[in-house]
Structures are given as structure tokens and as C-alpha cells.
Amino acid sequence: MDRNFTNTMKKTLTIITIAVVFNIYAQNNTKYGSYALKNDTPIFSSGQNNTAYGAYAIEQNTFGSNNTASGVYALQDNYSGNYNTAFGAFALRDNNTGTGNTASGTFALMNNQSGHSNTAYGFKALNTNYSGAENTAFGFEAKASKITAKNQIVIGYQTTGQADNSVTLGNEYVTAVYMGQNSGATIYAAGLRTASNDVLTLSENDATFENNLTVNGDVVVASDARLKTNIVSLGATSAKLLLIDGKTYTLKRNGKQKIGLLAQNIQEVFPELVSVDNNKMLAINYQGLVPVLINALKEQEGKMKEQNCKMKKQDAKILRLERLVEKLIADK
């Protein structure tokens, strides 16, 4: 048998074998449009269950499966990414190996290449994301803070995320956020940071504000007797108050001069009024000093009444002695 003929037959059989093998895997793909799923051939692709509508949609796919693209250039460069959904021109255009992404809107997630589990809705939503993962953006040009962002939730027109593992609501022009249409919805959070960078830390039963707090209304503390048990009078407190010394001091964090008390001093006298945080720093329950001061005032009032009573008795004795002296003098 001619050697050239034999080599030709071997090559042909090899190509047929490859085609058959790949054809086993490359199946259930649907395409409509010029160059849509262009590589969807037994020789070049093993991707399955892909759907492409629009010119160049999922054009370069080779191994990716279970992708859906609708729109010109949607998921055009996908190579091996799986479970991606792109709706809109250029949506997820540059995606190469990224998996589990959903983009809806022109240019949405366009530059994503290897990022996974991202969701973008709106024109250019998450458009700059490259390898970031688990991000969610809703709104016209809503985007994460960086191309490698992780777990950022960004909502609103031209809103930019601020940090990984965070939620950003609204752009720089938003002045208020309403929850439940002002119906008293509850917000669950471990802490809040104000525009002046002050931090309010929330725990199960306490809230800690790291800087000054100004309240333009009443501060009301629940104190119903029905909430309490083992109620006992505090008794005399004057002697203990004398053990407390007011101080002037300078705060280390900002150099401001202040007047107040030292928690260590209060802890020695009224330990119930001192708490310890997670950093083992002490804090004083200043409002708890109110009943201490009330009892001290009552104690002083009682002593003053007792002194007044004694003085009245002494005045009466002096008056009787004066009259007696006057009488003795008159009798002479």
C-alpha cells in the first residue's frame, strides 16, 4: 500500500476521531446571528447548553457551558466560563474564564475577565470589574471601588462602592435614606460611621460613640419598676461620694482639655457604674450617679434638719436663761 495514502488515511481517521469525541460533548448549543458561537464546531469546541443571540455573541467559546448571551458582542470572548448570563450589547464581552456572572444592560460587566458570581443591572453597571467577585450593582454606571473588588453591593445612579464587604446606597448627592417608607423599619448593624468619621459601635445591649454626642431633645431611659427585681434603697452615700475626686485632664486622641471623673476611681467606690469593653477599656455610667447624688442630698437634708432642731432647742434654752438672768437682776 502506498505510504502517502496510508499517512493520509491516518490523518483523516484522527480528524474524524477528534470530531466524534468533541461532538459527544459539544451539544445542545443554540445560536442566531453572524459569528454567534463561531467556534461551536466538533473540532474546536466542547461547550454544551450555550445559547447565543446576536452578532458575535459567545463567539470565542471553546469549553464554556450553560451560558446565555443576547446582544451584539455579548460574552464574545468567553473561552471556558460557565453559567454566565449576558443581556445587552457588549454585556460581559471580555469574559474569559469567569463563572456564574449575570449582566443585564449595555456594557454591563463588559471588562470582566475572570471575576465570578457578579451581578450587574444597568448601563455600564460594574463595567470596570476585571477579576472582582461576588459583587452586585444596580443602576446606571453603578460600579465597585476597584477592578478586583469583592462582595461590594452598590445601588443607585452613578454610585461607586466604597470598600470590600460593604453596601453603598446612592451617589454623593443623596442626602437621606428612608427605610420602610418611614414606618419604623429596624436596621440591624454592628456599627455606624458618621460623615465626620465618628463611629457608633452597636452590640446586643449597648451602643458606644467614640466622640462627642449632641442630642437636641430629651434622653429617656426605661426605668419602670415592673422591669426590675430585688429593689433595695441605696441608703446613705455621702461618705462614698467624698472618696470620689473630680479631675481636669487632656484627651490623648485630640489634645482637648476636659473635666470629669476617672473610671478607676469610680470602680473602687461604685463598681456597678463601671463597664469594660472588648479592649478592656473602662467606661462610666454617669447617669447612674444621679441616684447616688439624690441620696447624698437627702442625707445632707436630714442632717441639716437635725442640726436645725438642735439649734432651736439651744435657742430656747438660751432664751430661758436670758429671762432668768433678767429676773434675777430685777429682784435685786
Q: Is 155 helix (H, G, I), strand (E, B) or coil?
A: strand
pLDDT at 301 over 80: yes
| Mean pLDDT of the 193-213 span | 69
Dihedrals phi, psi of 258, to nearest 5 degrees = -135, 165
Distance from C-alpha of 36 to C-alpha of 246, rounded to nearest angstrom: 80
Per-residue pLDDT of 16-56, as tens digits, reads 444 444 444 457 899 999 999 988 665 556 789 999 999 99
Distance from C-alpha of 148 to C-alpha of 67, rounded to nearest angstrom: 23
Could you tell me the sign of the dihedral formed by the alpha carbons of 46, 59, 89, 107, in that order? Answer: positive
pLDDT recorded at residue 183:
64
pLDDT recorded at residue 324:
85
Residue 20 CB contacts under 8 Å (≥ 6 apart), including other chains: 42
User: For 69, what's the count of Cα atoms within 13 Å in the CB-facing half-sphere?
Assistant: 43
Residue 36 CB contacts under 8 Å (≥ 6 apart), including other chains: 52, 53, 54, 55, 56, 57, 58, 59
Distance from C-alpha of 131 to C-alpha of 171, rounded to nearest angstrom: 24
User: pLDDT band for position 4 (50/70/90)?
Assistant: low
pLDDT recorded at residue 27:
73
User: Rounded to an integer, what is the distance from CA 283 to the centroid of its chain?
Assistant: 25
pLDDT recorded at residue 2:
60
Least reliable range by pLDDT among 19-28, 166-175, 250-259: 19-28
Could you tell me the sign of the dihedral formed by the alpha carbons of 223, 227, 233, 235, in that order? Answer: negative
Per-residue pLDDT of 75-116, as tens digits, reads 999 999 999 999 999 999 999 999 999 999 999 999 999 999
pLDDT at 13 over 90: no
Distance from C-alpha of 245 to C-alpha of 61, rounded to nearest angstrom: 78
Q: What is the mean pLDDT of the chain?
A: 86
Q: What is the DSSP letter of 303?
A: H
The total of other beta-carbon atoms located within 10 Å of residue 293's CB is 12
pLDDT recorded at residue 150:
97
Closest CA to 109 of 58, 159, 80, 75: 75
Could you tell me the sign of the dihedral formed by the alpha carbons of 59, 64, 70, 76, in that order? Answer: negative
| Mean pLDDT of the 248-252 span | 93
Could you tell me the sign of the dihedral formed by the alpha carbons of 203, 206, 208, 214, in that order? Answer: positive
pLDDT recorded at residue 51:
95
| Residue found by looking up cell 442632717 in the block | 303
**CA of 326: how far to CAs of 116, 313, 321, 331, in Å?**
110, 20, 8, 9
Q: Which three cell numbers stand for residue 253?
A: 486622641
pLDDT at 163 over 90: yes
pLDDT recorded at residue 195:
66
- 209 or 272, greater pLDDT: 272
